[in-house]
Amino acid sequence: MVNGGLQEHLYPVSGSNAMPLRLDWETRLRIALEAAKGLEYLHEHISPPVIHRDFKSSNILLDKNFHAKVSDFGLAKLGPDKAGGHVSTRVLGTQGYVAPEYALTGHLTTKSDVYSYGVVLLELLTGRVPVDTKRPPGEGVLVTWALPRMTDREKVVQIMDPAMEGQYSMKEVIQVAAIAAMCVQPEADYRPLMADVVQSLVPLVKAQRPASKVGKLL
């Protein structure tokens, strides 16, 4: 894809030949929605459902207009035919994105992908990688650091990527943070379906003013 992976724009490498564009709030919201629609299709419009199993920011590709496409199905598995069931499989995936119940038991469901999606949504909000051993104690694991702040209206702004300052309303931040918090719940049963995530994001994306699709050169 022309603009590479989402990861390249969230965490640009200094000194690279092609200077990536810093994504603005509107673009990040749209990417979140389009990625959610991709997972929704895999989970709810294919029978049996397809579980991606390695959903992460580097597997979201961006076209010339920064529209998102879910990619890399090398680890994908067919899910259970029955609602509420699971498949047992060897634990694979990328550190920081793997759902806790899958890591502990090898039980894989569509809700495992929902957790991974929640981590990506956190990346879009914070501009932080899922696991960063260089950060101070208590801040190295993104979900652990962000979750208590996402559920506190007074602290939620603390998690936001400084590059987006002034681009969003607190109402929008609270709503998107609430979606992310539900997706990364430790208990799989408490996570939403991807259809619910899509339904929640659609009005937020529609409410954005027509504006530039990306922010600025770094």
Residue 164, CA distances (Å) to 20, 28, 90, 175 in order: 16, 10, 39, 16
User: Looking at residue 216, what is its pLDDT?
Assistant: 44
Catalytic one of 54, 72, 81, 113: 54
Spatial contact of 79 and 109, defined as CB atoms under 8 Å apart = yes
Locate the domains of the chain by residue range. Answer: 23-204
Kindly report the backbone phi and psi dihedral angles of residue 130, in degrees, each rounded to the nearest multiple of 5, phi listed first.
Answer: -65, -35
Would residue 54 show up in a list of annotated catalytic residues for this protein?
yes
| Residues sharing a CB contact under 8 Å with residue 214, sequence separation 6 or more, in sequence order | 21, 22, 23, 24, 27, 66
Q: In whole angstroms, what is the distance from residue 3 CA to residue 25 CA?
A: 17
* CA–centroid distance for 211 within its chain: 23
- The alpha-carbon radius of gyration of the chain (Å, integer) is 17
Structure confidence by residue, pLDDT tens digits, 106-124: 989 999 999 999 999 999 9
d(CA 139, CA 119): 14
What pLDDT is stored for residue 168 in this prediction?
93
String of DSSP letters for 66-105:
--EEE---TT-EE--SSTT--EE----S-TTTS-HHHHHH
Q: Over the chain (218 residues), what is each successive 10-residue block's mean pLDDT?
A: 88 63 91 98 94 95 94 86 69 91 92 98 97 93 95 90 93 96 97 98 86 45
Q: What amino acid occupies position 24?
A: D
Q: Residue 79's pLDDT is what?
A: 85
Nearest alpha carbon to residue 197 among 37, 2, 46, 78:
37
3-state secondary structure of 60: strand
Which CATH fold would you assign to the domain 23-204? Transferase(Phosphotransferase); domain 1 (1.10.510)
Residue 213 is predicted with a pLDDT of 47
**CA–CA distances in Å: residue 5 to residues 58, 110, 164:** 5, 23, 19
pLDDT value at position 212?
A: 46
What's the pLDDT at 54? 94
Query: Can you say whether residue 17 is alpha, beta or left, with left for phi > 0 and alpha for psi between -120 and 50 degrees?
Result: alpha
Residue-level pLDDT at 90: 77
| Whole-number pLDDT of residue 63 | 94
